[in-house]
Amino acid sequence: MNIAIIGYGGVGKALVRLLNMQEEVLAKDHLHIQVPYIVDYYGGIYQAEGIDLQQLAAFTEKEKDITKFTGGSADITVDHIASDKTVDLAVIMTPTNKETGQPGADYVRKLLTTGKHVVISDKGPVMLYYDELYRLARDHGVQLCIGCTTGGALPSINGGLMDLAGGEITSIEGVLNGTTNFILKFMEERACEYAEALKEAQEQGIAETNPTLDVEGWDTAGKLLILTNVLMQEKKTLDDIQVEGITHLTAAEVAQAASENCKYKLVGKTLRKEDGQLSMTVKLEKLSQDQLLYSVEGKNKAVRYCCDTLGELVIIGGASGVIPAAASILRDMVNIHRGYQFVK
């Protein structure tokens, strides 16, 4: 399989290392991956016979500008990938813009249209244009995989698509945001207020300097939106979700919950109501010990589906870090190689 990598940040570098690391595992699957193109901000690298990934990994430990590597040039762009018929699949890891979806959106369109499978980690285009991109993939007989966008290593899309194949999902619940998990856990353990827990999360590099997207629930909302549109065949937007964050939670409320053997989690939830309409919310929920999402904390994420025929399914996992994130991209590539039609 000839693949092109677009975006060479943390996860892109991890993917390059991973392709090296897992060569033997992939060979058992008769999957041999070559990377003729890597494109990022500075330009790109092209080597028809496949870039030497081990050398590249070593080279870019010190050097940021990939165009200085063998085969590198400032002129190599996504257009070269699009026009190269030997490329089977493109991995798109562009930075996320949730308003415009750019530049990822145009890259996906271009690459699907020119007959390449696409695996994408950029949530922007998926949140804004999934329906259009899905149809584009179908019309061009290629696959579009987005498993990385809804919890990284957590197989949330896989779980809904493959593990509940033949059934209909009636509800989706998810604890999908690591930063809020950390803050809530810290508030429980230290019996402290939100502001102190946030400060700790920022000092540990877990929360961003501007933590709004995480703590106000928008990261969770984005993931819930993707899960709902993909797994329940909907065309919702962020505006359809009632979103509430964790910033108003007090130490007293956490202590009260603990005295009832309960814990607060930030839960994204989509429910099909009796009238067929969907209710979509992101909010703090007080979960008791007998609820399976109760014990999801720290780095773990989880999703819970209810299905008409297969009952309840809870998936917990999603190790943090760039290697698991890259591994979730590789997972999609392997499942495409195994013939799975994500798009049909």
In the block, which residue shows the tokens 């060569």? 23
Sign of the CA dihedral 130, 144, 142, 14?
positive
Supply the minimum distance, in Å, between the C-beta of residue 306 and a copy of itself. Answer: 10
Question: Of the candidates 232, 251, 319, 322, which one interacts with a copy of itself according to CB under 8 A?
Answer: 319
Question: Of the candidates 2, 181, 220, 335, which one interacts with a copy of itself according to CB under 8 A?
Answer: 335
Cα–Cα dist 244/269, whole Å: 12
Is residue 303 annotated as involved in ligand binding? no
**Bridge partner list, 281:** 242, 269
Three-class secondary structure of residue 274 per DSSP: coil
- Out of 223, 263, 265, 269, the active site residue is 223
User: What per-residue string of b and e applies to 70-94 under the rule 16 or more CB within 10 Å gives b?
Assistant: ebbeeebebebbbebeebbbbbbbb
Question: Of the candidates 20, 23, 29, 260, which one interacts with a copy of itself according to CB under 8 A?
Answer: 29
Question: Of the candidates 41, 59, 129, 294, which one interacts with a copy of itself according to CB under 8 A?
Answer: 294
Q: Does 26 bind a copy of itself (CB under 8 A)?
A: yes
Distances (CA, A) of 67 to 70, 74, 103, 271, 298: 8, 6, 20, 49, 39
Q: What is the DSSP letter of 69?
A: S
Specify the amino acid at residue 219: D
Cα–Cα dist 77/57, whole Å: 20
Question: Of the candidates 4, 5, 11, 18, which one interacts with a copy of itself according to CB under 8 A?
Answer: 18
Q: Does 21 bind a copy of itself (CB under 8 A)?
A: yes
**Cβ nearer to a copy of itself, comparing 271 with 314:** 314
Q: Does 149 bind a copy of itself (CB under 8 A)?
A: no
Question: Of the candidates 132, 163, 193, 253, which one interacts with a copy of itself according to CB under 8 A?
Answer: 163
Distances (CA, A) of 140 to 5, 39, 114, 274: 20, 23, 8, 37
Q: Does 41 bind a copy of itself (CB under 8 A)?
A: no
Give the footprint of a copy of itself on residues 204-263 (CB under 8 A). 233
**Cβ nearer to a copy of itself, comparing 18 with 282:** 18
Specify whether the CB–CB gap between 5 and 93 falls below 8 A. Answer: yes
Is residue 104 annotated as involved in ligand binding? no
Span near a copy of itself by CB under 8 A; candidates 19-27, 54-62, 134-142, 252-260: 19-27
Taking CA 239 as the corner, what is the angle to CA 234 and CA 243, rounded to the nearest 5 degrees? 105
Supply the minimum distance, in Å, between the C-beta of residue 16 and a copy of itself. Answer: 14
Q: Does 309 bind a copy of itself (CB under 8 A)?
A: yes
Specify whether the CB–CB gap between 270 and 280 falls below 8 A. Answer: yes
Is residue 208 annotated as involved in ligand binding? yes
Question: Of the candidates 78, 82, 133, 164, which one interacts with a copy of itself according to CB under 8 A?
Answer: 164
Distances (CA, A) of 166 to 138, 228, 294: 20, 17, 29
Taking CA 216 as the corner, what is the angle to CA 248 and CA 159, rounded to the nearest 5 degrees? 120
Residue 98 falls in the annotated catalytic set: no
Largest Cα separation within the chain, whole Å, is 63
Catalytic residues: 223
Name the binding residues for NADP(+). 7-12
Binding site for a copy of itself (CB under 8 A): 18, 21-22, 25-26, 28-30, 153, 155, 158-159, 162-168, 233, 289-290, 292, 294-295, 300, 309-319, 323-324, 326-328, 330-331, 333-335, 338-341, 344
Name the binding residues. 7-12, 123, 208
